[in-house]
Amino acid sequence: MTTRNVAIVGTQWGDEGKGKLVDLLTPAFSIVARYQGGHNAGHTVFVNGRKFVLHLIPSGILHAGVTCVIGNGVVVDPEALFAEIDELRREGIEPVGRLFISERAHVILPYHRDVEQAAEAARGDRRIGTTARGIGPSYEDKSGRRGIRMADLADADPDGPLGQTIRANVCARNRTVDGEELDWRSVRQDLLAAWPRLEPLVADVSRLLDDGGRKGRRILFEGAQGTMLDLDHGTYPFVSSSNGTVGGICAGLGVPPRAIGEVLGVSKAYSTRVGGGPFPTELGGAFGEALRESGDEYGASTGRPRRVGWFDAVVVRHAARLNGLDALALTKLDVLDGLAEIKLCTHYRCGDQVLNDVPASVGRLASCKPQYETMPGWSRPTAGLRRFDDLPVEARRYIARLEEVTGQTVAIVSTGSDRNDTIIRPGSAAARWLA
Ligand code: IMP
């Protein structure tokens, strides 16, 4: 079998544990590439008890010698990028020299954050609950053909295209945002001051990946957010502003479809979401509270408490089809340790209809009633287990049922936050990737 590239995507609402999976699989790859989103993502990785939270830079950076790529589909806030580079340096990791950002990637500017706050406030009860990082307005400028790309930043002429675009965008911002006006000249100055630090990172990423592929270097594509936050296929409008599903890879990195190879979907053993929007299996009350605490379900980027719920097979089937999954990684199984029973949503009821697929309308999704199967829980802890056969029989039955209702094979089970607290099932796709 020829070596192949692998994509890692979230099958729920983000926060599935993709960072840990990328970190785990990186030793088998030479390049790790992000294709969408921005520093709204929060990929938490524990290595030898040290916690790293990466927002923008691919988690592969924690491995010496691995090239990390930020594609044109990602929106980059220079301040956030520099903060992350500085943080890595404090931990003894030097990203410069092996971190490359597409010259076509769009830049997030301070006015994007202001515009987002104003838009969220105007939405009132229907606010999306964004991460307030300026992600959406930056993508809006991109689609509106008024965005600023990395390649534009070398333009030092105040009357040149960069100066003119900043001026027009800041004037538009000043018309829509109440309060203190921004001075376009200082926005431009800050950007020009950032350029010498950005310049050594900027590259033709599509060319870099193509050259790497020709030399037999394997690429791991790192998705951010999750399928249900995908701009087109998620719970629109309660979504992020990019395509986190595999479809985003070609456009977001400049690679052809055949470069993708295989796809690993990541699912938590239950569900979570941050921000507004429908969440059929959501658990409220003391039980939900207890699950949030035992899973430490607080946003890696914003610290916000995550909403928690039972595993939703309708959602994961949706993700499996959209992404063409080859296997699933099931994370945070240990968080369910000690529960007397565990519920698993297999389909929805909406009025007198049975639904096996996620409806497009959020209003309809919000009125869906999840239909559950109840399974016995397990009392013996799974935390830290590293062999599938060591799992309690009830946990193995839960996984087997989950495989049946999603139509997927669980290749990896994560039983703790550390890189080593992981079960790779012998003979699975994951075992083959790591061989
Ligand atoms: P935005 O991406 O900041 O525009 O936020 C849009 C929605 O996506 C909000 O509900 C956010 O909470 C959610 N979101 C964005 N990034 C992540 C993530 O990495 N994990 C979980 N939710 C996210």
- pLDDT tens-place string over residues 338-361: 999 999 999 999 999 999 999 999
Per-residue confidence at 29, pLDDT binned at 50, 70, 90? Answer: very high
Q: Cβ(244)–Cβ(10) under 8 Å?
A: yes
| Domains of the chain, each with CATH number or no CATH | 6-101+201-263 (3.40.440.10), 106-198 (1.10.300.10), 267-434 (3.90.170.10)
Q: Which of 39, 115, 131 to mutate to test the pocket of ligand 1 (most atoms within 8 A of CB)?
A: 131
At residue 50, the pLDDT reads 83
pTM of the complete model = 0.97
The DSSP symbol for 97 reads T
At residue 108, the pLDDT reads 98
One-letter identity of residue 281? T
One-letter identity of residue 51? K
For residues 25 and 408, give the distance between their C-alpha atoms in angstroms, rounded to a whole number: 19
Average pLDDT value for residue range 34-42 = 95
- Of 424, 435, 339, give the one whose Cα is nearest residue 388: 424
Give 177-189 pLDDT, tens digit per residue: 999 999 999 999 9
Share of the chain above pLDDT 90, in %: 93
Give 403-434 pLDDT, tens digit per residue: 999 999 999 999 999 989 999 999 999 999 99
Token couple for 120:
């969220």
At residue 59, the pLDDT reads 87
Q: Cβ(133)–Cβ(40) under 8 Å?
A: yes
What one-character-per-residue DSSP string does 260-300 give?
A: --EEEEEEESSEEE-SSS--TTB--HHHHHHHHHHTT-B-T
Average pLDDT value for residue range 95-104 = 97
At residue 1, the pLDDT reads 36
64 C-alpha to ligand 1 centroid (Å):
29
435 C-alpha to ligand 1 centroid (Å):
34
Catalytic residue set: 15, 43
The burial class, CB within 10 Å (0-12 / 13-18 / 19+), for 285 is: exposed
Nearest ligand 1 atom to the CA of 130 is 5
Residue 3: HSE in the Cβ half-sphere, 13 Å Cα cutoff: 14
Quick check: 3 pLDDT over 70?
Answer: no
The DSSP symbol for 184 reads H
Quick check: 175 pLDDT over 80?
Answer: yes
Nearest ligand 1 atom to the CA of 131 is 3
Q: Which of 225, 231, 272 to mutate to test the pocket of ligand 1 (most atoms within 8 A of CB)?
A: 225
Exposure string of 155-189, with b = 16+ CB inside 10 Å and e = fewer, is: beeeeeebbebbbebbeebbeebeeeebebeebbe
Give 280-339 pLDDT, tens digit per residue: 999 999 999 999 999 999 988 888 999 999 999 999 999 999 999 999 999 999 999 999
Quick check: 103 pLDDT over 60?
Answer: yes
Per-residue confidence at 2, pLDDT binned at 50, 70, 90? Answer: very low
At residue 26, the pLDDT reads 96
275 C-alpha to ligand 1 centroid (Å):
7
